[in-house]
Structure 1
Amino acid sequence: MSPQESAVAPAPTAESRTDEELARGLVAGDEDCLAAAYRRWSSLVHTLAWRSLGDAREAEDVTQQVFLGVWRGRGGFRPERGSFGGWITGITRRKIADALTARTRRLAVIASAGSSLALADPAARQPEAALDRVIVLHELAKLPAAQQRVLRLAFYEDLTHLQIAERTGWPLGTVKSHARRGLCRLRGSLQPDMGG
């Protein structure tokens, strides 16, 4: 067999495929097509999410959720209903809306906490309150150490201001001050971007 006979034209890479070919490959379960779709569309998805949410980390989360949705929902893509890019953009809009809804829910949790650390109240021990505390964990991690410590003791150990003061050795006024400032920062970090 001569080298010319054994030379076979290389198979087209996922990168060189048209959107329609990528969509067909994706529907067939070709992970290379998912990777190519991610490389082709993730920048747009991230930009849309970042502009809507105003937060780079949330935009990254939304981008991952979109492409997870693309993979899981690949059987639902119908080219007769619109383009592949349009389908991905539609998923992006839904995931952004989900992120905004989750943000609103987190704001409601923080607002209900109030400056008196109402989450330390025994009523907050109900099952849905436990879920609310988990949602707040991500934002708590961004706070300065002292504020974070006070709020963690209140949220996760259900301690009162006085108990936190005893545990930390800090004056009661300092504990209240850290709690108030921490809650204000949490509210501020969860506010939707009003600038457009």
Structure 2
Amino acid sequence: MCEHNLWAPIEESLADEEVAEGLQRGEEAFLEAAYRRWSTLVHTLAYRSLGDSREAEDVTQQVFLAVWRGRGGYNPQRGAFAGWVVGITRRKIADALTARTRRATLASAAKTTLNLAAPPSDNMAGQVLDQVLIRHELTLLPAPQRRVLQLAFYNDLTHTQIAEVTGWPLGTVKSHSRRGLNRLRQRLVATDAC
């Protein structure tokens, strides 16, 4: 606690370039300084674009994680550090919007493919049977595909969030999702044909 109090007055007097240099050296205290300095701006930009506080918080965390991981890629000759952070923010917002669209598309495709459109209330038994069939078919998928689809549909996570939860690269998560949905569709079509 004392270190934090001693650091705060020094932090306020630091120029943006000094914060950037400290980050590039890998000093975590400068990440904290960058977060305190620009997180409100990042969150505001994300909230205005996404209209959802939870998503804006997720984007803010993703931005500062990307700042830390990509700190070696910052080049002061190409622009101000704050501009670099805003650029990362815009990309993360675009990713969140793309993921939102992809989730809606996947959900719509799943409903169409799996024929899960809202059934009439007198067909409740059919709906329950469909859910049992889908859960059974999910258990037959390879574990990585099953995990990605369960996280996407039951936990409502984006591909980016699934990558963070599993520790897998984003491309791997997307591949497992695509393969899992294709395999699930093929199995369900085969089941309907019988």
Q: Which range, TM-score by smaller chain? A: 0.5 to 0.7
User: Which residue of 2 is the match for residue 93 of structure 1?
Assistant: 90
**In the TM superposition, what is the alpha-carbon distance from 1:66 to its structure 2 partner?**
0.3
Is residue 2:22 matched to residue 1:25?
Answer: yes
Residues in 1 aligned to 2:64 and 2:70: alpha-carbon distance in whole angstroms: 9
1:131-165 Cα offsets, whole Å, 9 max, x none, are 2331123349xxxxxxxxxxxxxxxxx9xxxxxxx
Structure 2 Cα separation of the partners of residues 45 and 114 of structure 1: 35
Matched, 1:74 2:74: no
**1:134 has 2:151 as partner:** yes
Q: Is the 8 A contact 1:14 1:32 kept in 2?
A: no
In the superposition, the TM-score normalised over structure 1's length comes to 0.59
Name 2:80's counterpart in structure 1.
83
Match for residue 55 of structure 2 among 55, 58, 61: 58
Q: Give how far 1:123 is off.
A: 6.4
Query: For residue 36 of structure 1, what is the aligned residue in structure 2?
Result: 33
| Unpaired stretches in structure 2, ≥5 consecutive residues | 1-5, 117-129, 158-183, 185-194
Percent same amino acid at aligned positions?
58
Taking the aligned partners of 1:35 and 1:70, their CA distance within structure 2 comes to 11
Q: Which runs of 4+ in 1 moved over 6 A?
A: none
Per-residue deviation, 1:69:
0.4
Aligned CA-pair RMSD:
2.7
> Counting helix residues as a fraction of each chain, which structure ranks higher?
2
Q: Please give the TM-score of this superposition, normalised by the length of structure 2.
A: 0.60
Counterpart AA for 2:32: A
Q: Distance in 1 between matches of 2:21 and 2:28?
A: 12
Q: How far apart, in 1, do the equivalents of 2:155 and 2:51 lie?
A: 17
Counterpart AA for 2:150: R
Report the alpha carbon displacement of residue 76 of structure 1 after superposing the two structures with TM: 0.6
Q: Whose RCO is larger (CA < 8 A, sep 6+)?
A: 1
What displacement does 1:41 show? 0.3
The Cα of 1:130 is off from its aligned counterpart by 4.7
The aligned amino acid for 2:149 is: D
Where does the alignment leave 5 or more consecutive residues of structure 1 unmatched? 1-9, 141-157, 159-196
What's the CA shift for 1:57?
0.4
Higher Rg of the two aligned structures: 1
CA distance in 1, matches of 2:51, 2:149: 23
**Matches of 1:137 and 1:51, distance apart in 2:** 27
Alpha-carbon deviation of 1:126? 4.3
Query: Which residue of 1 is the match for residue 110 of structure 2?
Result: 113
